[in-house]
Amino acid sequence: MYHVCFVCTGNICRSPMAEAVFRAQVRDAGLDGLVEVSSAGTGSWHLGDPADPRTAAVLDTAGYPLRHIARLFEPDWFDRHDLVVALDEGHAAELRAMARNTAEAAKVRLLRSYDPEADPDELSVPDPYYGGAAGFEVCLTMVEAAVPGLLSEVSAAVAAREAG
C-alpha cells in the first residue's frame, strides 16, 4: 500500500479538500486498494471536528464525497507515509522541522508543485478559512489542477513497487 497524507493548518479546509479530490482520482484510476489517502493538520484547534461546512459544500457541489474528522499530524507518521503533501509553504516548513532525518524531510512536497501551470514562486494554496465561499472555490480549482500530476507520480511509484 502506498500512503499519501495531505496536511494543512487545522485539517478542516484545504487538506480534507485535497484528500477528497485525490481519493476520487485514485478510485477513477483503478488504484483503490493500492493507495491509501488521508489528511491531517499541523495545529490542534479543530481536532475531532468535521470539515468546515464551506469545504463540504464546495466538494458536494463538485461531486466529491467527503467523510472526515480532523486530526493532528504526528512525527512518527513519517514512518507509515510515503508522501506528505503540504498545502502551503508554512506547512511544508513545519513538517520538515518535524522530520527526524533527511529521508523523512524528503517525503514532504507542496501540492501545487505538481501543477505544471503553477507559478514556481507561489506554490501555496491560500487559506480560505477567514473568507467567503469564493475562496473555497479557488482552493478547489488549485487542488484539481495539481492532483493529476500527483496522481501520475503516485501511479508510477505504485507500478514500480508492483514490478519490483
Determine which one of 5, 8, 13, 139 is catalytic.
8
Start-end of H helices in the chain: 14-28, 53-62, 89-98, 102-105, 133-163
Q: Is 127 considered catalytic here?
A: yes
Grid cell at residue 134: 469564493
The DSSP H or E segment spanning 50 is none
Instruction: Report the C-alpha gap between 158 and 156 in whole angstroms.
Output: 5
10 Å Cβ neighbour count for 15? 33
Q: Is 54 considered catalytic here?
A: no
Grid cell at residue 157: 511509484
Type of residue numbered 18: A
Q: Is 96 considered catalytic here?
A: no
> Is residue 70 a contact partner of residue 49, using CB atoms and an 8 Å limit?
yes
Determine which one of 14, 23, 54, 112 is catalytic.
14
Determine which one of 49, 82, 96, 127 is catalytic.
127
Q: Which residue has the cell 514490478?
A: 163
Residues annotated catalytic, as ranges: 8, 14, 127
